[in-house]
Structure 1
Amino acid sequence: MRTEPLQVRGRFLTAIAIRIDVETPDTHFFAALEDKIKTAANLLIGAPILLDFEKVPGFTSRELLHDVVRAIRSRGLLLFGVQNATPEQQALAAELGLIQVMIGRDAPVQQVRAATPRRSRLVAQPGNKIIHRHVRSGQMVVAERGDLTVVGSVASGAEVLAYGNIHIYGTLRGRAMAGVEGDASARIFCSKLEAELLAISGLFKTSETIQPDLRGCNVQAFLEDETLRIERFL
């Protein structure tokens, strides 16, 4: 039997988005970028990075975009694409080797449903996932279209992701990302917090920015006023 020389497979990619919130990045922008890199080095260094243009549709300066990309790459970050970009921004990004990445929540839902056979729609209904084991370093567990429950601990270097909430009945030492498709109402619950990273709908806290008095505690994380908050869960 002939062996195929290659295979094409889907992969779940965790990327970090840097959202630009000013039409004209200046010295304050670059100082803030430097500060973010210092405070979240463990998250950003070595991770795939996107530029998010959602808030700046009028940002069309070729020179400024070159400056932003140069500043990011010169700090060792792996910038590979853009999202929420206008056609003009996409063209400018392409000149710098950046691709346009379509994120799930931007898809035209009605068109997707119309083009999907009935059987596929049934399979794609929301569902939760329960894991009755520890998640080891280097492993990634994803709950698509639902909540994730881990009856065990999540080791340092492991990742757990969910479209909905995350419940961890054990120690969280790795990374937990809830609401990965943009659900700002998602929450993270864990019995003992020792996390490298907590993220909900793209907003995150790293081990360096989690309050020391919350470590080792039973906590919940949630979004409030576009801020990720962590509090003891009694």
Structure 2
Amino acid sequence: MKAANQVAATLRLRGTTIPVIALAVRTADPEQLEDELARKVLEADGSLAGGLGVIDLSALTEPPPSLAPLAEMVRRFGMRPVAVLGADEAFGSEADALGLALLPAAGRGMAARNEPDAAPAPIAAPEPVPPPVVPEPLLATAMLLDRPLRSGQRVYARGRDLVLLAGASPGSELIADGNIHCYGPLRGRAMAGASGDTSAHVFALDFQAELVSIAGIYKSFEQLSDEFRGRPVRASLQLEGEQRRIVLSPLGDR
């Protein structure tokens, strides 16, 4: 009996008030979701980084998307998805596979307090997620950011170019499936051709990047030579047989 008491004393169960971020999904369009989440993360000025996220589908008025791309998108923007709210039990196996808790229907009251006008819609069974085959074609318009990207912030231009009118601080991340254009000081990490486009480029008028990646090939710049530091630079991927490497050249050279 004494041993049992000692074991019991090593564990205590208690309620907590750990904050979570509810991501109320109102559209199944992945491009709209990514654009809106990128804007929200930028406005939050790094305060969302590392936060626990609950994907709330209770306000969705159309068949919901699969959970895998939603969870991956949340992680890509620096948060940690832990649960799904307002989803049908048909999502149970997919949620389990992703390590997400499927909150019961009664839990919808949490979202309703913040979304009084939300009416839960019928939930359709998720369609299977096909594996990626080829990079998606780039969209006609680029994602345009007119404010500096601060340390710890991340932005992803899915299926398009990314244009940053201001600068990027050390510790920030610029990610695009197409090209990256930075008209201010580029001091963070720039990853172009994220979906596999080997022809993508990184253009910077004031190059001070910590790292450049194109189509998954990366090069860090712990010691940047004076030839390129603070100058207009174009970064591209050079292919030589099986060898691939990032090369820098003065912007305007061919």
Give the TM-score normalised by structure 1. Answer: 0.49
Give the TM-score normalised by structure 2. Answer: 0.46
Which is helix-richer, 1 or 2?
Answer: 1
Bigger radius of gyration among the two: 2
